[in-house]
Amino acid sequence: MTEPQIFGTHEPKTLDQLRDVASRAERAALMADGHLGYVMPIGGVTAYRNQVSVVGVGFDIACGNAAIRTDLTRAQLVPHLSALADTIQDAVSFGMGRKNRAEDAPSDDPLFEDPAWDAVPGKHERERLRAKARDQLGTVGSGNHYVDVFADEADRVWVGVHFGSRGFGFGVAHGFLALGQNRAWGERVPERETLLDIAKPVGEAYWQLMNLAGRYAYAGREWVARKVVALLGGRELELVHNHHNFAWQEQHGGERFYVVRKGATPAFPGQKGFVGGSMGDDAVIIQGVASDDPAVRELQARALYSTVHGAGRVMSRTAAAGKRTRRGQVIKPGAVSREMMLEWVERKNVILRGGGTDESPHVYRRLPDVLAAQGPTVEVLHVLRPLIVVMAGAEEFDPYKD
């Protein structure tokens, strides 16, 4: 194992998590937006020779970002921003376990007939999971998942979305977490490191279903983003799309590895990515640098050609929002009030629908700082200023968020 590459500064517990997972991997790295996660830190990247980590990929398999550049300009939308925000909130399903209620929901996508479904053990479990996936395709979920409308430095309008494979990926992750601990599919087991050998049947089955969840997440994000572009009255000119909770088979240093990125964006030279900030901060379109400088190329290689996936949390959800009883009584107040959150987004002229204080800009680092900490490995192509942010409501709970 080579010494992990660490970008930025991190809390000791986050670094302890990285060192723990790195002890079982061939290579590892931590991005500048990293923070404490389940077993593996968010922002962590690991490479294995013939294994994949179930908790490394995580419970929101294939969570990622998609951004579409449209033919619209900011000036065309400004008079209608509030009404457009309402339209997006009404047309797209946000929140826990929601079904896609749109008449044009993509429930007949060919992925539902893919042979990989046979890797789910038992017909009953298979059909139950497929039915849930069919209902939820094109839903956004809760937590830090969103639909945003942006304007770039040339006042061109972009639509950005962030979410993953919803209940389908959640079910796959927990199913294989159980199988990897010699328990039955669907049985609740501890959330601990579970490395599956790709050459063995259980590892191969997980790999097939993880990749199917990847296709599912891509289909869902693209459907939502294109739906919103249509609601705005625009046309799609460019699509930038990446997973950041996933595993890929890649070549590094002439060797084949299974690379797990948990809250990290692939950033090979020339590869574009969409990275969000917070509901009240700019986002960016980035690109992996194509450099002739040996030092830059070495740094990219040590990062396993990865970069940040967002700004990175500095405050837990509970610390931000506090604790309440089921009846809404405050047990412990949070550090961020709704007034603080709304003051921030109003100062930035953002039209916000939904959103809880656990997603306020106060709980995140600033994106320019984490990008600077990544050094010369990526370059910013476009800076996207939020005009509209739509998220699930503050009281929505969602077990499928990352």
Nearest to 297 by CA among 376, 361, 218: 376
What is the rounded CA–CA span in Å between residue 374 and residue 376?
Answer: 7
Residue-range domains of the chain with CATH? 5-100+140-390 (3.90.1860.10)
Consecutive H or E run containing 85 = helix 81-91
* pLDDT values of the chain reduced to their tens digit, one per residue, 402 residues: 679 999 999 999 999 999 999 999 999 999 999 999 999 999 999 999 999 999 999 999 999 999 999 999 999 999 999 999 999 999 999 987 788 988 999 999 999 999 999 999 999 999 999 999 999 999 998 889 999 999 999 999 999 999 999 999 999 999 999 999 999 998 999 999 999 999 999 999 999 999 999 999 999 999 999 999 999 999 999 999 999 999 999 999 999 999 999 999 999 999 999 999 999 999 999 999 999 999 999 999 999 999 999 999 998 888 888 887 666 667 788 899 999 999 999 999 999 999 999 999 999 999 999 999 999 999 999 999 999 999 997 654 444 443
What is the rounded CA–CA span in Å between residue 127 and residue 110?
Answer: 16
Tokens in use for 229?
């572009």
What is the rounded CA–CA span in Å between residue 79 and residue 271?
Answer: 35
Task: Collect contacts of 173-177 with beta carbons under 8 A, ≥24 apart.
Answer: 173/54, 173/55, 173/57, 173/58, 173/59, 173/60, 173/61, 174/59, 175/120, 175/121, 175/125, 176/54, 176/202, 176/205, 176/206, 176/209, 177/54, 177/55
Nearest to 353 by CA among 134, 149, 104: 149
What Å distances lie between residue 275 and 200, 237, 282, 367, CA to CA? 35, 19, 9, 9
Give ∠ CA 153-7-241 in degrees, rounded to 5: 45
- pTM to 2 decimals? 0.94
Quote the radius of gyration of the chain (alpha carbons, Å): 20
Largest separation between any pair of C-alpha atoms in the chain: 60
Query: Residue holding tokens 């991005």?
Result: 31
Nearest to 279 by CA among 378, 373, 372, 347: 347
Tokens in use for 264?
């990290």
